[in-house]
Amino acid sequence: MKRNFCDLHLRASPSEAKAQRFIAKAAQLGYKQISFPFSAPPTQIELGNIKKYAENSGIDFASRADFKPRNQEDLMRFLRKYRRQFEVICILCDNKEVSRQAAKDHRVDLLNFPSLDYKKRFFDRAEAELACCTGVAVEIDLKPLLVLEGPPRTRILSSLRRETGIATEFRVPIVLSSGIGEEVLMHKPRDFASLAYMFGLKESQALDAISTNPTAIISRNRQKLDPNFVAPGITVLKEGKSQ
């Protein structure tokens, strides 16, 4: 079966010129879907221009927002304000209170643990038990494996082995993203998937994490953002007129 590869976390500036370069390179490398985070909701014109250029390049572009809440209240305010303005919502977790709350909120799509310090990577069995009930996925950025060497690389690999083992046990979806902001570091999707073998993912799991899992998130949220959406499996096809 042919896979549609997806990189949900290209850290490109949403400026039109840089976005076009990343989109062109992603298409050349074999990706079919990409996303990069906006710091604020783009205008319809800005987003439309990016999506149009992506479509002309054979790429499906999804809008994404990353947020690092200070506390639970900060997270709730963000979700209430922005959930319906983006196709992908990622919460950057750097404290346990936020990570726990984000894992049990179905409005969150991705949990990302950006710290390289294992003490600040809060994905554990309790977190996984919450996430498995809401469908929240764990996103793993692969950039550290490209740029780190020696003991720092060994430590992050150890953390990733533990986290992916827990996610697999609790059937929490895993998403592999590049997390890169430099074109020179962009690689083909199967090259990125091969890095996952180093922290315990089987070939099929790694390929799913860079294709099936992220594309499912985009598809699910586009359905929910459709104005005719009522509930999963229920869509208004045509409104009748009163007689």
Task: Name the phi and psi angles at 38, rounded to 5.
Answer: -100, 140
The reported pLDDT for the residue numbered 42 is: 83
- Cβ-in-10-Å burial (0-12, 13-18, 19+) of 240 comes to exposed
Distance separating alpha carbons of residues 242 and 23, to the nearest angstrom: 48
Distance separating alpha carbons of residues 104 and 136, to the nearest angstrom: 8
Residue type at position 116: L
The reported pLDDT for the residue numbered 146 is: 94
Asked if 128 contacts 153 with a C-beta cutoff of 8 angstroms, the reply is no
The reported pLDDT for the residue numbered 243 is: 44
What is 31-83 written as a DSSP string?
EEEEEEEESSPPPHHHHHHHHHHHHHTT-EEEEEEEE--SSHHHHHHHHHHHG
CA distances from 141 to 24, 31, 50, 199, 223 (A): 21, 16, 23, 13, 26
DSSP class of residue 139 equals E
The reported pLDDT for the residue numbered 238 is: 58
Question: Would you write out the chain's pLDDT as a tens digit for each of its 243 residues?
Answer: 689 999 999 988 766 788 899 999 999 999 999 999 987 788 888 889 999 999 999 999 999 999 999 999 999 999 999 999 999 999 999 899 999 999 999 999 999 999 888 888 889 999 999 999 999 999 999 999 999 999 999 999 999 999 999 999 999 999 999 999 999 999 999 999 999 999 999 999 999 999 999 999 999 999 988 775 444 455 555 555 444
**Roughly what angle, to the nearest 10 degrees, separates helices 96-103 and 72-82?**
40
Distance separating alpha carbons of residues 213 and 102, to the nearest angstrom: 19
Q: Mind listing the domains of the chain with CATH numbers?
A: 5-235 (3.20.20.140)
The reported pLDDT for the residue numbered 236 is: 53
The number of beta carbons lying within 10 Å of the beta carbon of residue 138 is 24
Tokens representing 10 are 């290209």
Distance separating alpha carbons of residues 91 and 93, to the nearest angstrom: 6
pTM here? Answer: 0.89
The reported pLDDT for the residue numbered 230 is: 47
The reported pLDDT for the residue numbered 38 is: 85
Distance separating alpha carbons of residues 224 and 222, to the nearest angstrom: 5
Tokens representing 167 are 């996610």
